[in-house]
Amino acid sequence: MWDCVATCFLLDATAHVLHTIRHIHYLLKPNGLWTNVGPLLYHHADREMGWSPNYSRDKRQNRSFPRVPIVELTLEELKTALPGLGFKVIKGEYVRTSYNRDPHSLMHTVHECPAFSCLKTEPVPLPPRTRNKPPNANLVQTHSDKSSESTTE
């Protein structure tokens, strides 16, 4: 557990930004500080129909990795999601940053990046997860449910 986590140019380099933020929350002590700076340009090496690459085998660990959907949030969507992920924004601003700058070159990239600091709080509880069920599984009545209702009337 850490008192502070600082991330720089990270969120737009992950395939699923919400998983990354949950992991940062896990790493922090209660009331820990997370500071982030970086653009939300979202770049992934091998995009395939909105899914992260499917690495068939990791030869070093001899294990497979599942494919996960790519999630790219705007700054407004990110600010809306943070309280539900257990973070309270205490400061936010835009800063000018350079990236891969060579002082001997005529070219350099400058980003106008969101920068924010958050305190770890308790996440807003989410509804229970329903694996392997269609989204409206609880709303669908089976034939036996309908027949039992008609016999009780």
pLDDT digits (tens, 9 = 90+) for 137-151: 454 444 444 444 444
pLDDT confidence tier of residue 136, bands split at 50, 70 and 90: very low
Question: Mean pLDDT for the chain?
Answer: 76
pLDDT confidence tier of residue 128, bands split at 50, 70 and 90: low
Residue 44 has pLDDT above 90, yes or no: no
pLDDT tens profile 48-106: 444 444 444 444 554 555 556 677 888 999 999 999 999 999 999 999 988 877 888 88
Beta-bridge partner residues of 25: none
Residue 114: its pLDDT value, please? 94
Per cent of the chain over pLDDT 70 is 63
- 79: closest CA among 111, 113, 112, 116? 116
pLDDT tens profile 74-83: 899 999 999 9
pLDDT confidence tier of residue 153, bands split at 50, 70 and 90: very low
Residue 109: its pLDDT value, please? 85
Domain 2-152 sits in CATH 3.20.19: no
